[in-house]
Amino acid sequence: MKPTLYPSAHIAELFFPLANDEKAILQVIQQVAVTDYYQGFETGIIKHPEIAKTIRSIAQQNHLHVTQWLTFELLRDNLNLSSLDSALREKSIRRACELVHLAAECGTTKLSLVSGSDPGDARREEAKKGFGEALIRIGEAVKQYPTMLMQVEPLDRFAHKCQLIGPTDETVEWMTTLRAECPKLYLAWDSAHVALNEEDLADSLRLAAPLISQLHLANAILDPQAEGYGDYHMKFGEPGFLTPRTAAHIIRTALSLPLPPELGPISIAVEMRTTEQDDLWDNEKQCRAFLQTAMAEAVQEA
C-alpha cells in the first residue's frame, strides 16, 4: 500500500497571536473544521476542561486528527526534558506527564515535543541518555491512551536553535534504539531544520521514513551571512529555500518512501508564524493554497 498524506492546519503558528486565548483558538478550530480541506490541526495544550471537551467533539464529528505541542508549556515554565540538571529534568518530566492527560481530553492523537539545547560534544551523549529516560517515562503516560503516539521534532544543531536532537542520521540511530522501551515514539520531520543542518532534504526523508509521523513544510534563510538566517517560521518563498517546487519535491519523495504502515495517512502542514499585524485568515488561505499547489504538483510529477 502506497503512503498517503493528509493536510493539517498548524493553528499554533498560523494563529500565533491568539495562542493564549483558548476561546479564540476554539473559534479557529470551528472555522477550520468547515473548510472542507483540512483533515487535522495542531495546537498547543488546552487547559480549560470545557473547551477541551468541545474541541474533542468537533474533531470526532468532523473526523479530524488532533496534534498538540507540549513545547509552549514547557518553555513557558523554563523546563527542559534533556537538562543535565537531574532535578530540573525530573520537574520537566512530571509536568510533561501532566500535560499528556490534558492533551487526551482534547482527543489528541499526536503528542509532540522537542529536546532542549545541545550541551556540546563532551556531554551530548549524557544529555541524550537523560532525554531518552524522560521520553520512556512520558511514554508510560501516553500508553494509557491507545490512539495517542508521541513524536519528537529534531531541530537544527548549530545554525539557530542549537538543540540536542538534530541531524537525521544521529536522530534515527538514537530513536531506533530507544523505541525498544518506548514503542510509540515517532519523528516529526521539519524541512527548515533539516536544511539548516545542511542536510539533503530527500536523503533525510529516506533515512527517517520508517519513523516519520508528520511533515512540516517550513522555510528558512540558509545563508549564514544573510539577515534572517535561521528558523524564524518565515513565509514560504524567497529569500528562503521553500518554493512550491521544493515543497513538491519533499512531498513527492515522502510519497515514494516506506512511511510507518501502522499509522495510515500522516499529516503535512505549512509552518508559518503570524504576528498581530497580520491578517491571520488571509495568511491561512495563502498557506492552504501553497500546500494545495505543492501537493498537486507532486502527484502530477510522481
Number of Cα atoms under 13 Å in the Cβ half of residue 296: 6
What is the pLDDT, as a whole number, of residue 192?
98
Q: How far apart are CA 136 and CA 155, in angstroms?
A: 20
- Judge contact between 58 and 93, C-beta under 8 A: no
Q: What is the pLDDT of residues 182-236, one digit of tens each?
A: 999 999 999 999 999 999 999 999 999 999 999 999 999 999 999 999 999 999 9
Q: Which three cell numbers stand for residue 246?
A: 521544493
Is 0.85 surpassed by the pTM of this model? yes
Q: How far apart are CA 43 and CA 102, in angstroms?
A: 13
Q: How far apart are CA 281 and CA 87, in angstroms?
A: 42
Number of Cα atoms under 13 Å in the Cβ half of residue 183: 5
Q: How far apart are CA 264 and CA 57, in angstroms?
A: 22
Residue 299 in this model has a pLDDT that exceeds 90: no
The candidate with the shortest Cα–Cα distance to 87, out of 124, 119, 116, 130, is 130
Provide the percentage of residues in the chain whose pLDDT is more than 70.
99
Residue 275 in this model has a pLDDT that exceeds 90: yes
Q: How far apart are CA 54 and CA 142, in angstroms?
A: 21
Residue type, position 56, single letter: R
Before 183, cis peptide (omega within 30)?
Answer: no
Band (pLDDT 50/70/90 cuts) for residue 15 is: very high
Three-state secondary structure along the chain? CCCCEEEEEEHHHHCHHHCCCHHHHHHHHHHHHCCCCCCEEEEECCCCHHHHHHHHHHHHHCCCEEEEECHHHHHHCCCCCCCCCHHHHHHHHHHHHHHHHHHHHCCCCEEEECCCECCCHHHHHHHHHHHHHHHHHHHHHHCCCCCCEEEECCCCCCCCCCECCCCHHHHHHHHHHHCCCCCCEEEEEEHHHHHHCCCCHHHHHHHHHHHEEEEEEEEEECCCCCCCEEEEEECCCCCCCCCHHHHHHHHHHHHCCCCCHHHCCEEEEEECCCCCCCCHHHHHHHHHHHHHHHHHHHHHHC
What is the pLDDT, as a whole number, of residue 123?
98
Q: What is the pLDDT of residues 190-202, one digit of tens each?
A: 999 999 999 999 9
Residue type, position 51, single letter: I
Q: What is the pLDDT of residues 116-168, one digit of tens each?
A: 999 999 999 999 999 999 999 999 999 999 999 999 999 999 999 999 999 99
CATH 3.20.20.300 corresponds to the domain 5-301: no
| Domain residue ranges in the chain | 5-301
Q: Which residues are bridge partners to 266 per DSSP?
A: 5
